[in-house]
Amino acid sequence: MSEFDREIDLKAIGKWLGALAVVIVLAEVAMVWMLRGMNHLDAKSDPVALPIQQEMKQEPPPLPRLQASEGFDQLNPEAPPATRSDVEDMQLLLAAEDAKLHGAAWLNEAEGIVRVPIDVAMQVIAERGGAATAPPAAVDAAAPAAAAPAEPPAAPQEP
């Protein structure tokens, strides 16, 4: 044995490790006890459903109930293909709106009603120099006079 081996006290190191293990176990037990206590307090403070709410349960919406994150289909090939993220849903909605705004289509071919692109519609309205809709019909001059009250009621007089 060398002279450095005499300086290492294995009994003291063992005692310290044992004490550290006891402290760790006590801390874990205290944390579990506190967590259970907090859950118990939370359960007490949760509102209870009213009897009418208990009787009239709503059916959950059809699956999938939540939107997935962007690129979910690439990361999860086993997922149903209809799963889209909110960003992908918004992109599809905007693309559909743009197609309606910038494309022409028959709305009612029998009556000759057609949807024109927005830039063409704006140009036509600008060339006409008027409103896009017809002005309201003229109101009969006698109608407003008949609808108006004759005279306002007199103010009460003080005694």
Q: Which helix (H) or strand (E) holds 124?
A: helix 118-128
pLDDT over threshold 60, residue 145 = no
Q: Round to whole Å and give the CA distance between 150 and 128.
A: 44
pLDDT over threshold 60, residue 133 = yes
Q: Which two tokens stand for residue 4?
A: 């450095």
pLDDT over threshold 60, residue 149 = no
pLDDT above 90 as % of the chain: 28
pLDDT over threshold 80, residue 158 = no
CA-CA distances (angstroms) from residue 45 to 40, 42, 50, 60? Answer: 9, 5, 15, 26
Which residue's entry shows tokens 């108006």?
A: 148
Please name the residues in contact with 84: beta carbons below 8 A apart, sequence gap of 6 or more. 67, 68, 72, 73, 92
Q: Which two tokens stand for residue 29?
A: 């037990």
Compute the 3-state secondary structure of the chain and give helix, strand, coil in percent, each to the nearest 5.
50, 5, 45
pLDDT over threshold 90, residue 30 = yes
Query: Does a cis peptide bond (omega within 30 degrees of 0) precede residue 64?
Result: yes
Higher model confidence: residue 88 or residue 85?
A: 88
pTM (predicted TM-score): 0.33
Q: Round to whole Å and give the CA distance between 30 and 24.
A: 10
pLDDT at 81: 61
